[in-house]
Structure 1
Amino acid sequence: MLKSVIFDLDGVIVDSHPAHMRAWKRFLVSVGKSPTEAELEFVRDGRKKEAILRHFLGDLDKDQIRAYGREKDLLFKEEVGSVSTVAGIRDLLNQLNHAGLPMAVASSGSSERVHYVLHILGLGDYFAAVVTGDQVANGKPDPAIFSKAAEKLQVSPGDSLAFEDSVSGVRAARTAGMKCLGIATPPRSQSLLEAGAHGVLSDFLGTSLSQIRKLFL
């Protein structure tokens, strides 16, 4: 039985990937790197900031990770004016809220950035729990972030539905024991299905609670 719904943030609740890509590119250029657009695709797969920094910059100590992470977050805040919600998400959140289903956010982003984005878009009050990348030891595809979200909602993972837009996120949700719907357009939609998503939506327009409940019949 469906008892809770857990959302990734970037690419699911908010259409923020273009802003993130610009912020990461600006940061990497500032430290002497010149990533191609193809190389920047690494950023899209739901990884923690620490993993992204080490991927592009090699071995870093914790102080460097914190400092570089702050620099990148400041650049993202300069880009955040271009961020909007994914089509149809507010209507779905209202449906779930009206039905009394608890909701959570499970994002690899930092706590500061995730809460900032939810605040400026006026979405924070919908969520009974917010779990971020700095609250778990391992990022997606490790299931810890989804397991922790279900724990905070006091709901079994098997009674939870996750919405994800990345392969690592889908794998994390499925490994946690949740059903998962992907948010993507071709060709990325096929990769989410192959990762274990029960279906893929391009956005939330026309998505109803009754449709979601059918996954649990």
Structure 2
Amino acid sequence: MLKALIFDMDGTLVHSDPVHLQAFAEILGPQGVVIDEETYRSSIIGRTNESIFASLLPSHSVDEHEELAELKEAAFRRLALDLKPLDGLLDVLDWAEENRLKIALVTNAPVLNATHMLDALGIAERFEVKITIEEVVRGKPDPLPYLTALERLGLQAGEAIAFEDSPSGMKAAKAAGLFSFGVLTGLSADEMREVGADLTIETFHDQALWDVLDSHLKG
């Protein structure tokens, strides 16, 4: 029986990718790295800052990567002032609470970003468990963030459903054994299915989602 919903953050709770792209472009432009939509999709979306900066600036030191990552996240928080929940999200969260399901967050973002975004969306108090990149030694695509969330929720993988928008996130959720929806804010349905999505949705209003939620709740 379904007992929890576990959400990625960027691109899942909110369509924040355009703001992240702008922040990366602002910080990496002076480094000679052009960040366009194709680069964002192929080299950034869903990955940890550690791997992003290592791949885009291989000649820089780890300390320089960390400094630039901090600047990028600060730029994101400065730019992300008008965030709105993805269509239908609040309905899903309300439904989960009405049916006494637990709600968790699993993100590769730092805690400062998670706090900023959840507060801006007005949903911070809804999440019983929040796993940010500081909470684990390995981020997505490793399943550890999801396994950590399940452990803290006190649940097995079969008792939860995950929502992800990126290849790395979907790989992590599926490796942890979770039934997973691919949220189509950045990638196509085919791309999400290729990395393991059980089903895909454009928004949280999609009937396919509600059919699955009702069937899983009944066991």
Structure 2 length normalisation: TM-score? 0.91
- How far 1:123 moved relative to its partner? 0.6
Contact 1:42 1:52 survives alignment (8 Å): no
Deviations 1:17-36 (Å, cap 9, x if unpaired)?
11111111111113332234
Partner of 1:214: 215
Alpha-carbon separation, structure 1, partners of 2:26 and 2:93: 33
Deviations 1:137-191 (Å, cap 9, x if unpaired)?
2221110011111111111122110001112211111110111011116962111
| Consecutive unaligned residues in structure 1, runs of 5 or more | none
Which 4+ stretches in 1 moved above 6 angstroms? none
Contact 1:143 1:176 survives alignment (8 Å): yes
Relative to structure 1, the CA distance from residue 186 to residue 146 in structure 2 (aligned partners, 3 Å threshold; closer, same or farther) is closer
1:5 alignment partner, SS class: strand
Question: 2:115 matched to 1:115?
Answer: yes
2:205 alignment partner, SS class: coil
Partner of 2:75: 75
Question: 2:25 matched to 1:25?
Answer: yes
Partner of 1:141: 141
Deviations 1:102-151 (Å, cap 9, x if unpaired)?
01000010111111110121111110010012222222111001111111
Once structures 1 and 2 are overlaid, which stretch shifts more, 179-188 or 96-105? 179-188
Contact 1:185 1:201 survives alignment (8 Å): no
Partner of 2:49: 49
Question: 2:183 matched to 1:183?
Answer: yes
1:162 alignment partner, SS class: strand
Structure 1 length normalisation: TM-score? 0.91
- How far 1:61 moved relative to its partner? 4.5
1:85 alignment partner, SS class: coil
- How far 1:42 moved relative to its partner? 3.2
Q: Root-mean-square deviation (CA), in Å?
A: 2.0
Amino acid at match of 1:69: A
Contact 2:140 2:169 survives alignment (8 Å): yes
Relative to structure 1, the CA distance from residue 106 to residue 59 in structure 2 (aligned partners, 3 Å threshold; closer, same or farther) is farther
Contact 1:6 1:160 survives alignment (8 Å): yes
Alpha-carbon separation, structure 2, partners of 1:124 and 1:185: 22
- How far 1:15 moved relative to its partner? 1.0
Contact 2:24 2:35 survives alignment (8 Å): no
Q: How many residues align?
A: 217
Alpha-carbon separation, structure 2, partners of 1:174 and 1:200: 14
- How far 1:194 moved relative to its partner? 1.8
Amino acid at match of 1:45: I
Contact 2:162 2:181 survives alignment (8 Å): yes
Amino acid at match of 1:83: L
Contact 1:16 1:84 survives alignment (8 Å): no
| Consecutive unaligned residues in structure 2, runs of 5 or more | none
Partner of 2:132: 132
Partner of 2:200: 200
2:92 alignment partner, SS class: helix
Contact 1:11 1:183 survives alignment (8 Å): yes
Alpha-carbon separation, structure 2, partners of 1:200 and 1:58: 35
Contact 1:141 1:168 survives alignment (8 Å): yes
Alpha-carbon separation, structure 2, partners of 1:205 and 1:44: 27
Question: 2:19 matched to 1:5?
Answer: no
